[in-house]
Chain A
Amino acid sequence: MLGGDNRASIIGVGNTRYSKKADGSAELLAVEAVLAAAADAGIDPRQIDGIIPYPGHVGDDVIQAELGLSPRFRTTVDMGGCSAVSALRIASMAVMSGAARHVLLFRGLKGSSGMRKADRPSFLPGQPFRRHLEHVYGMNTPAQRYAVLCQRYKHEYGLDPRTLGEIAIAARAHANLNPGAQMYGRELTMEDYLAGRLIADPYTLFDCCLETDGASAVIVSARNDGRDVRILSVAEAQGTSPDDTSNREPFLDIGLTQAANEVWNDLGVGPEDMDAAMIYDCFTFEVLHQIEEAGFAKHGEAASLIADGGIRLGGKLPINTHGGMLSEAHQAGLNHVVEAVRQLRGECGARQVDNARLVAVTGWGQLGDGSFAVLGGKHV
């Protein structure tokens, strides 16, 4: 059996409606998502005995108190957008070791109508570097920090704005097949994309992910019944100089390179075996960057995979069939895990990938921490 018998599973996923402005509180959103995941798993929420919350979002104490949980395992994975997939790994270890049976991963935030990203406390590493070397030059947002990576790539390999445009438009086309997506029903054309206002060159409006009011939850378990999705292999790593990108060498080095290699070697399958990939898409270029670092294309060659519908449904490698963070919702990557599970269970309706058996999921955060998982459906 691929990945061996002794693997953890994802037994339940849930999410709220994603919107620009939710009526209820962030706590209510989180509770709704957790209850939905427990119902999806077919367990009583009180059977959840492990919790991994997300830094800066609704805390585990709130969920414990609201739902009367008594966890025997809790920890925090503080790796920014890398946390969702890294937490899958920690949760797998917890359930396989017997430290817990059902571990809940969740996040809930009013990230759009509440405080916006630039105003929220930052959990980035190297805060002294941020204060002494970046804020004093007007550099204080992810868009700005990641724009310089894209700019350098553009110099080294060449990059047509329309390639980034296709990443944004493919995400939107997928979101338009997903009634749960924040941008459902809102078409995006190349003309719209190219007219986007400047955020941080080369990034314009539609290169940047959404900010979202909403919550999502995933339950990892030692249970492995027919419908459960198995976590076949998962790894994480950090780029060199994980607290500083300015003097990183190689400049485009990220943790995903190593994490993906570990997973390919562990499983004995490769990029060509994946039926779809959910790639952490904080910005359009980071999709391209990770396509290359995870091995789906060689360095400098991702543009040819992206062209001609290659990353759309029906293409060579459908990417972010839910619309991703660019067009479904910002759930710091947990929605990517949720979508992978739904694809593998064949529940995606109009956006279903035919016969999806293996789906890759990436995490990216904290200036280049990377995580990588391959999830498998019941026929694997």
Chain B
Amino acid sequence: MFDLDQIPVPDLADPNFAPFWEGTRERKLKIQKCRDCGTHRWPPRVTCQNCRSTSLEWVEVTPRGTLYTYTTVGRATAKGFFNTPYTVGFVALEEPSNVRIIGNVVDVEPSQLAIGMALEGRFVPAGPNGEMTLIHWAPPTT
């Protein structure tokens, strides 16, 4: 479905994202958490939106959640995504519930997609040399 090797690889060493990409490579979903007030945040930022602290840690969270919104793309526009249709979803994590993660939703017929459906993350190597690991979301197998 996807031409995973053709997907453009961002700068994996970008300090705001490197711990995230290192996490996915180890098949872990890691997001930011404020060391001072404990608020989780995503996408990665340097400042806690709750207490303004810039002290942060990256914590592993369970890649499970529900579909918050999505679009099924019918007109190809992006490198690595020439085969349509494919679906991009925003997944609201089970825990912490204030965080949504963007990813492709797979193994669901477009007509069967529904906001609120349960999804779990799968780690998928991509890029010309498999140098980045993406997260795809599919209905839970168990």
Residues of chain A at the chain B interface (Cβ within 8 Å) = 118, 126, 128-129, 131-141, 143-144, 147-149, 151-152, 155, 197-204, 244, 246-247, 249, 251
Q: Are B132 and A200 in contact (CB under 8 A)?
A: no
Give chain B nearest CB distance to A141 CB in angstroms. Answer: 5
| Cα–Cα distance between A344 and B14 once the two chains are bound (Å) | 52
Residues of A within 8 A of B81 (CB): 138
Tell me the chain B residues, 48-103 only, with Cβ under 8 Å from chain A.
68-75, 77-81, 84-86, 88, 90, 98-103
- Which residue from B75, B78, B102 sits with its C-beta under 8 Å from A133? B102
Q: Are A148 and B73 in contact (CB under 8 A)?
A: no
Residues of B within 8 A of A140 (CB): 77-78
Q: Are A135 and B71 in contact (CB under 8 A)?
A: no
Residues of B within 8 A of A135 (CB): 7-8, 10, 78-79
Q: Which 4 A-B pairs have the closest CB atoms?
A: A198-B74, A138-B81, A147-B71, A152-B69
Residues of B within 8 A of A148 (CB): 69-71, 88, 90
Residues of B within 8 A of A131 (CB): 8, 10-11
Q: Are A136 and B75 in contact (CB under 8 A)?
A: no
Q: Are B126 and A246 in contact (CB under 8 A)?
A: no
Q: Are B75 and A198 in contact (CB under 8 A)?
A: yes
Query: Given A133-B102, A155-B69, A198-B74, 4 other A-B contacts at CB below 8 A?
Result: A118-B77, A135-B10, A151-B69, A198-B85
Give chain A nearest CB distance to B90 CB in angstroms. Answer: 5
- Which residue from A136, A141, A147, A152 sits with its C-beta under 8 Å from B134? A136
Residues of chain B at the chain A interface (Cβ within 8 Å) = 2, 7-11, 14, 16-17, 20, 42-43, 68-75, 77-81, 84-86, 88, 90, 98-104, 110, 115-116, 126, 132, 134
- Which residue from A136, A143, A199 sits with its C-beta under 8 Å from B132? A136
> Of A131, A135, A137, A140, which is in contact with the most chain B CB atoms at under 10 Å from its CB?
A137
Q: Are A246 and B115 in contact (CB under 8 A)?
A: no
Residues of B within 8 A of A244 (CB): 43
Residues of B within 8 A of A151 (CB): 69-71, 115
Given known A-B contacts A152-B69, A247-B100, A132 and B74 have beta carbons under 8 A apart: no
| Cα–Cα distance between A135 and B80 once the two chains are bound (Å) | 9
Q: Are B104 and A137 in contact (CB under 8 A)?
A: yes
Residues of B within 8 A of A143 (CB): 75
Residues of A within 8 A of B102 (CB): 133-134, 137, 139, 246
Q: Are B115 and A155 in contact (CB under 8 A)?
A: yes
The interface residues of chain B, by DSSP majority, are classed as: loop
Residues of A within 8 A of B88 (CB): 134, 137-139, 144, 148
Nearest neighbor of B84 in chain A, beta-carbon distance: A198
| Cα–Cα distance between A41 and B63 once the two chains are bound (Å) | 60
Q: Are A247 and B132 in contact (CB under 8 A)?
A: no
> Of B2, B71, B72, B75, which is in contact with the most chain A CB atoms at under 10 Å from its CB?
B71
- Which residue from B14, B42, B104, B110 sits with its C-beta under 8 Å from A247? B42
- Which residue from B17, B78, B84, B99 sits with its C-beta under 8 Å from A139? B78
Residues of A within 8 A of B80 (CB): 138
Residues of B within 8 A of A202 (CB): 71
Nearest neighbor of A208 in chain B, beta-carbon distance: B75
Q: Are B8 and A132 in contact (CB under 8 A)?
A: no
| Cα–Cα distance between A143 and B43 once the two chains are bound (Å) | 21
Q: Are A128 and B78 in contact (CB under 8 A)?
A: no
Nearest neighbor of B134 in chain A, beta-carbon distance: A136
Residues of A within 8 A of B98 (CB): 247, 249
- Which residue from A129, A136, A201 sits with its C-beta under 8 Å from B43? A129
A and B contact pairs by CB, cutoff 8 A, 12 listed: A133-B102, A135-B10, A136-B7, A137-B102, A138-B73, A144-B73, A148-B70, A200-B71, A201-B70, A244-B43, A246-B90, A247-B43
Q: Are A197 and B71 in contact (CB under 8 A)?
A: no
| Cα–Cα distance between A286 and B69 once the two chains are bound (Å) | 16
Residues of A within 8 A of B8 (CB): 131, 135-136
Residues of A within 8 A of B43 (CB): 126, 129, 132-133, 244, 246-247
Give chain A nearest CB distance to B83 CB in angstroms. Answer: 10
Given known A-B contacts A152-B115, A155-B115, A201 and B10 have beta carbons under 8 A apart: no
Nearest neighbor of A201 in chain B, beta-carbon distance: B72
Q: Are B104 and A132 in contact (CB under 8 A)?
A: no
Give chain A nearest CB distance to B7 CB in angstroms. Answer: 6
| Cα–Cα distance between A284 and B18 once the two chains are bound (Å) | 38
Give chain B nearest CB distance to A368 CB in angstroms. Answer: 15
